[in-house]
Amino acid sequence: MSRWRKAQELAASSGIDTLLVTPGADLRYLTGYAALPLERLTCLVLPADGDPTLIVPALEGPAAAASGVDVEIATWGELDDPFALVTELVGDAATIGIDDHMWASRVFALREALPGALQVLAGSLVQQLRIRKDPDEVAALRDAGLAIDRVHARMGEWLRPGRTEREVGADIARAIVDEGHVTVDFVIVGSGPNGASPHHELSDRVIEEGDPVVIDIGGTTELGYCSDSTRNYLAGGTVPSEYAEFYAVLEGAQRAQLDYAGPGVTAESVDAIGRTLIAEAGFGDRFIHRTGHGIGQETHEEPYIVEGNATVLEEGMAFSIEPGIYLEGQFGARIEDIVVCTADGLEVLNNTPRGLVAL
């Protein structure tokens, strides 16, 4: 069954008469069309019952058709009102499901065009489908994992004392594309004390001998799937004496989480098993973020591996396991792998060495 047909079934069972989906990961997931979010309206009108229509600006018509979408395409001319087209297709639908990433300007324009309709958020509905990857999606994530592993394996070409984080980051970004991605999504080079800031990106700080360096990188492949992996490096010199013990705690926690996670356990229990070990070692208040996030056509999506998420993991769910410990003013470390639940265990998609890599 096509993905949009499954979405129709979910819409019907949740009391949504019509789903409206504008460019973004939901549209790509449902139709295969990777439309750019532009000022001209592109919108999938997906009734719970009946045939869907993809509304696109006339000049995008050929691109939409070339993407192989299996729904009818309706184009609008430069001077037409695309919202009139939506109104016509929506008819007297009482409840309209809006994708979570729709621009606020569109949501308000739709409210004006359809004053009698109730708007509800439909992101969680599509997430219910996206959260379980089919074998093709798992293969695409596996390729993305291999591609980012190849970049990590080349780190010694670029990471050296005397270079700035920004210089190293520029080389990494080029390699992310060279090794099999079409876009660079993020490059974090956190050297020395900058490693204690989980989402530090790049700065002009010069990397020094003996600096532990946190490298967290990811991109999107041609098929639209994301990679995301963090490793820790030492570019010459020796790390501070307290680093080894600190790093062993983190490695032990991440290992325990990899060994434990799999179908049938809850997302929050995966978080807890690592957090407990880190807390027992005295670093509980230094693990300042959740353990992980789902990944697919977006780097962050369901399921979130966090306290309070009782979602039971199932075959096909893909997510990161990335505990971190951050000592402000000194250094930090995070170890991150993307994993996929199989029928009876876990497939780990990142497999470069997880220990501190001395270059």
User: Taking CB under 5 A as the rule, which mask of x and - marks residues 261-300 in contact with Zn ion?
Assistant: ----------------------------------------
Q: Are 31 and 54 in contact (CB under 8 A)?
A: yes
Q: Which is nearer to Zn ion, 75 or 230 (CB)?
A: 230
Q: Which is nearer to Zn ion, 18 or 230 (CB)?
A: 230
CA dihedral (193, 199, 202, 204) positive or negative: negative
Site for Zn ion in 206-245 (CB under 5 A): 216, 228, 230
CB of 266 to Zn ion, least distance (A): 19
CA dihedral (261, 295, 150, 28) positive or negative: positive
Buried b (16+ CB within 10 A) or exposed e, 40-71: ebbbbbbbbeeebbbbbbeebeeebeeeebeb
User: Taking CB under 5 A as the rule, which mask of x and - marks residues 171-210 in contact with Zn ion?
Assistant: ----------------------------------------
Q: Which is nearer to Zn ion, 167 or 337 (CB)?
A: 337
State the alpha helices, DSSP H only, in 15-81: 25-31, 61-66
| Binding window for Zn ion (CB under 5 A); candidates: 61-69, 131-139, 267-275, 319-327 | 319-327
d(C-alpha 205, C-alpha 47), whole Å: 54
CB of 217 to Zn ion, least distance (A): 7
CB of 63 to Zn ion, least distance (A): 31
Q: Which is nearer to Zn ion, 57 or 274 (CB)?
A: 274
CB of 229 to Zn ion, least distance (A): 7
Q: Are 212 and 232 in contact (CB under 8 A)?
A: yes
H or E stretch covering 48 = none
* CB neighbours of residue 258 within 10 Å: 18
CB of 127 to Zn ion, least distance (A): 17
Q: Which is nearer to Zn ion, 26 or 228 (CB)?
A: 228
| Binding window for Zn ion (CB under 5 A); candidates: 51-59, 113-121, 164-172, 314-322 | 314-322
Binding of Zn ion by 320 (CB under 5 A): yes
Q: Which is nearer to Zn ion, 179 or 216 (CB)?
A: 216
d(C-alpha 284, C-alpha 130), whole Å: 33
How many residues are recorded in the chain?
359
d(C-alpha 79, C-alpha 223), whole Å: 34
DSSP at 269 = H
Name the CA dihedral angle for 326, 327, 331, 336, rounded to a multiple of 10 degrees.
-10
CB of 215 to Zn ion, least distance (A): 10
* CB neighbours of residue 29 within 10 Å: 21
Site for Zn ion in 335-354 (CB under 5 A): 336
| Binding window for Zn ion (CB under 5 A); candidates: 108-116, 176-184, 246-254, 334-342 | 334-342
Q: Which is nearer to Zn ion, 21 or 196 (CB)?
A: 196
Q: Which is nearer to Zn ion, 167 or 301 (CB)?
A: 301
CB of 349 to Zn ion, least distance (A): 12
Residues that bind Zn ion (CB under 5 A): 216, 228, 230, 320, 336
